[in-house]
Chain A
Amino acid sequence: MIIRPRLILAIVSLSALAACSAPPGTWGWYVVDPSNPSGWTNVKFLLRGFSSTIQISVLAAVASIIIGLLVALPAFAQSRWLRLPNRIYVEFIRAIPLLPMLFWVFYGLPVVLRSMGISLNIDPFWGAVITLALSDSAFTAEIFRSGIQAVPRGQAEAAQTIGLSRAQAMRYVILPQAVRRILPPLANQFIYIVKMSAFASVIGMEELTRRANELVVTEYRPLEIYTLLILEYLVLVLIISAGVRWLERKMGANESR
């Protein structure tokens, strides 16, 4: 990428100028101004989306890590036939764009389940959780696989010579070391999930993005409202980043390798 400092400077100063000198009516920050009553109502309406976005993201991330680990482990089986499902799952799930998968899970999966005699309605909340977890799990599985492969071979060999089974070696020796290595990429995936949860708005989930959309329809102030929406995601992601850095420091201090 070519960085053009002069161009960036021009754009930034022009927009700053526009913000200062714009005639009244061009900017309508009043819609999200907490100091006036209707603005405050709007802000509260938008902020209430946090709870759904956070719940969906956390549940999807936890499920994705569990599925990812379960998918990654067979990759280390000795038998080719045990390794095959891992490859198929990763290649297949990774190839599906998030939005079509969301539609399929929300509109299609209940039909599939009904045909199997299971009568289960998937609401927007669980539709979003399932989709995000599945879609992300293919990546989590690959992260786990590379993390496990990065642990030196001698570790598994030493575990074998002190009598541990392959499963025990994985559980007590390899995985604990792999998890420390993959913490940063796993955190990246969590941030990705938080951002992708915005897609849940299209199946009617009342999260951050949906609420912003609804407010735009009534207030006709897309610029101000979407700006606030972006800030909401920014705050969320910055909090996660800080949390991960804290966790890494804590684990790194224990290791001192």
Chain B
Amino acid sequence: MTNTEHSKHAITMDAVSKWYDDFQVLRDISLTVDHGEKLVICGPSGSGKSTIVRLLAGLETHQKGTIRVYDQPVDAQGRGDIGMVFQQFNLFPHLSVLDNLTLGPMRALGMPKPEARDRAMAYLERVRIPEQADKRPGQLSGGQQQRVAIARSLCMEPKLMLFDEPTSALDPEMIAEVLEVMEDLARDGMTMICVTHEMGFARRVADRVAFMDNGEIVEIEPPEIAFTAPKSARFAQFLDKILKH
């Protein structure tokens, strides 16, 4: 926790480039995110937005540039300090909802079972599904599964939450329940980076919106500017397309 207080920014990316073989997915990305800031990243598929959050989560490696999270490299972070929510939920299908949530605290933090259960139940309350604790993920709806996945990350009490298209795999009527939980989290001051095309959510929650295309951050600004007066033609085009439908 001491890191949190001393570092100036939550995240600093400096001239980060990444290649898959010959294909460059990220081109000289420089980006800072403040403590408690909510950043929404949007852009067409293949623009590199998921790659940024996957790098920050330590799921991928980059070839050039530096990434610091609370003044530390990604691989030097404490266990579960960077929470991640996936498009496909990635809940553990062989474990009950409760066991999905207690696994991290018990195995990664060495927390005793009763304490881990209490913490898990508290976060299940928070995402409003405590009654599903004993079910298997497969018995839940998509929206419920994603809320469980958010609670699973929160059980590690992360300093930073990453969301990689958290509502893209959901039926439309389930998107709202997941976004509500995310907004609730945002109000509590969590530092969040969300890759999403939910522009209503961006407008309500984001401090800044970043538009990516072709491995670059084309522009980054507060939502009131982004949605009314985008600077680049590419962003304007993109907004036009996704807002119409």
Could you list which residues of chain A lie within 8 angstroms of chain B, going by C-beta atoms? 152, 154-155, 157-165, 168, 172-173, 176-177, 180, 254-257
Contacts and interface: CB of A to CB of B under 8 A. Distances in A.
Given A172-B107, A255-B136, A162 B153 contact: yes
A164 B105 CA distance: 9
Contact of B92 (A160, A173, A256): A173
B88 A154 contact: yes
B156 A154 contact: no
Contact of B103 (A154, A172, A177, A254): A172
B103 A164 contact: yes
A221 to B, nearest CB: 53
B79 interface: yes
Q: Which of B58, B84, B92 has the most CB of A within 10 A?
A: B92
Given A172-B103, A256-B138, A256-B139, A163 B90 contact: no
Interface of B: 57-59, 78-84, 86, 88, 90-94, 103-104, 107-109, 136, 138-139, 149, 152-153, 155-156
B69 to A, nearest CB: 13
Nearest to A161: B84
Contacts of B88: 154
B90 A257 contact: no
Contact of A155 (B83, B92, B104): B92
A247 to B, nearest CB: 15
A158 B109 CA distance: 16
A160 B59 contact: yes
Contact of A177 (B83, B94, B109, B153): B94
Contact of B93 (A161, A164, A257): A257
Given A155-B92, A158-B86, 13 more contacts: A157-B84, A157-B86, A158-B91, A159-B92, A160-B57, A161-B82, A162-B80, A162-B108, A162-B155, A163-B81, A164-B107, A165-B108, A172-B107
A161 B153 CA distance: 8
A256 B108 contact: no
Given A163-B104, A163-B156, A158 B136 contact: no
Nearest to A179: B94
B55 to A, nearest CB: 13
A154 B57 CA distance: 13
Contacts of B149: 158
Nearest to B139: A256
A22 to B, nearest CB: 58
Nearest to B84: A161
B4 to A, nearest CB: 17
A190 B88 CA distance: 36
Contacts of B90: 152, 154-155, 157-158
Contact of A176 (B58, B59, B94, B136): B94
Contact of A256 (B91, B107, B136): B136
A171 to B, nearest CB: 9
